[in-house]
Amino acid sequence: MQAEIMRLKKEKGVCILAHAYQSHDIWEVADYIGDSFGLSQKAAQADASTILMCGVRFMAETVKILAPHKRVILSNSVAGCPMAEQITPEQVRKLKAENKGYKVVAYINTTADLKTECDVCVTSSSAVKVIKAVDSDKIIFIPDCNLGSWVKTQVPDKDFKFIAGGCPTHLRMTVGDVHEARRNHPQAAFLVHPECRPEVTALADYVGSTTEIMKFAATDTAHSEFIIGTENSIVQHLQLQMPNRRFFPLSKNCVCINMKATTLGDVLECVRGIGGEEITMDEQMRLKAKHCIDEMLRLG
Ligand code: 13P
Ligand code: SF4
């Protein structure tokens, strides 16, 4: 299957972008693997006529927003991110009306429709930099209050308002999991994604996006064992890449069924032209949503 995918993507001019949470067999056929910020940058630069996004819907929408003349395919149409739909554009309008003078910062895990109401987007790896650079000290941060709380600890001089949103996958990890993992692996460094609960993130040795966690684990010379507090595919990727180091999941429950919806078989059907879902978007909406992604790429 991988050989056929490699042959067809070359023949048909398909660029495969894969989020880091995709499985290793998909990594091996991808042209680029990365976190949400890296994927956005690649989407803006890619020169292939078709882009296949192996990830979730908001990621494919981001590609379409940045590359409107390309065919953009989402690898499996059921792959959505529940967090992206936790707040509606009407709710954002209401928040803005109630909090005059605040800038709305949206995690990139939001629908294109929602982005039309926001001033700037952020990803987990760009949030601190972007929010420091935003020309306002008053920030409404949607929808992930956990990521937002972590950013607040890094940018304490700004005033933040949050809503009760977040990633259901990262929420499964608890302080009890941290104590147990530390007991079982006392020599290990504990690395987490900022989508985790604040009380979990507060116990970490390092906080970062998926790509940043992987980079830290590959370059840290003080440790050879790591407890990984993010989607468990990262544990597998790291262990395959670095057999001389040891990687442990913080919890075996941290599996995102949406990220796992795509299989190698889906990728093959997509490059054959018989699978996935082509993303289309109203041009007015695209242009309004593009503004906050452009701002993120400029500031981040
Ligand atoms: P990053 O890859 O940007 O860290 O995002 C994690 C995530 O949950 C994506 O849905
Ligand atoms: Fe959404 Fe969380 Fe899954 Fe990422 S890991 S796609 S934020 S549910």
Per-residue pLDDT reduced to its tens digit, 24-67: 999 999 999 999 989 988 888 888 999 999 999 999 999 999 99
Mutate to test the pocket of ligand 2, among 21, 258, 262 (most ligand atoms within 8 A of CB): 258
pLDDT confidence bin for 112, thresholds 50/70/90: very high
Query: What's the order of all strands across the beta sheet hosting 159-162?
Result: 120-122, 103-107, 138-142, 159-162
pLDDT over 90 percentage in the chain? 96
Mutate to test the pocket of ligand 2, among 59, 167, 209, 211 (most ligand atoms within 8 A of CB): 167
Can you tell me the distance from the alpha carbon of 61 to that of 72, in angstroms, rounded to the nearest whole number? 8
Q: Is 82 in the pocket of ligand 2 (CB under 6 A)?
A: yes
DSSP-derived 3-state class of residue 92: helix
What mean pLDDT comes out for the span 94-110? 96
CA of 243 to the centre of ligand 1 (A): 24
In Å, what is the CA distance from 142 to each residue of 53, 118, 212? 24, 9, 22
pLDDT of amino acid 163: 95
pLDDT of amino acid 229: 98
**Does residue 8 surpass a pLDDT of 90?**
yes
* Dihedral of alpha carbons 136, 138, 139, 145, sign: positive
pLDDT of amino acid 300: 86
β pairing state of 103-107 and 120-122: parallel
Residue nearest atom 1 in ligand 2 by C-alpha distance: 81
pLDDT confidence bin for 271, thresholds 50/70/90: very high
Taking the CA of residue 169 as reference, the ligand 2 atom at the shortest distance is 2
Rounded to 5 degrees, φ, ψ at 120 are -155, 150
pTM assigned to the model: 0.96
pLDDT of amino acid 144: 98
Which residue matches tokens 């192996």?
54
What mean pLDDT comes out for the span 257-280? 98
pLDDT tens sequence across 174-203:
999 999 999 999 999 999 999 999 999 999
Nearest 5°: the CA angle 66, 215, 175 is 100
Beta strands (DSSP E) in the chain are 14-19, 32-34, 50-54, 71-74, 103-107, 120-122, 138-142, 159-162, 189-192, 206-207, 225-229, 246-249, 277-278
Mutate to test the pocket of ligand 2, among 81, 107, 108 (most ligand atoms within 8 A of CB): 81
CA of 68 to the centre of ligand 2 (A): 25
Lookup: tokens for 212: 């940043």
Q: Is 177 in the pocket of ligand 2 (CB under 6 A)?
A: no
Report which residue type is found at 63: V
pLDDT of amino acid 7: 98
Report which residue type is found at 61: E
Q: Is 22 in the pocket of ligand 1 (CB under 6 A)?
A: no
pLDDT tens sequence across 206-218:
999 999 999 999 9
Q: Is 83 in the pocket of ligand 2 (CB under 6 A)?
A: yes
Cα-atom radius of gyration of the chain, to the nearest Å? 19
Mean pLDDT, the chain, integer: 96
Taking the CA of residue 83 as reference, the ligand 2 atom at the shortest distance is 1
Lookup: tokens for 276: 């996935």
CA of 178 to the centre of ligand 1 (A): 21
Mutate to test the pocket of ligand 2, among 37, 59, 83, 197 (most ligand atoms within 8 A of CB): 83
In Å, what is the CA distance from 136 to each residue of 17, 139, 235, 283? 34, 7, 38, 29
The Cβ-side half-sphere exposure at 21, using a 13 Å CA radius, reads 27
Which residue matches tokens 């981001």?
62
Contact 253, 76 (CB under 8 A): no
Rounded to 5 degrees, φ, ψ at 98 are -80, -15
CA of 125 to the centre of ligand 1 (A): 9
CA of 139 to the centre of ligand 1 (A): 21
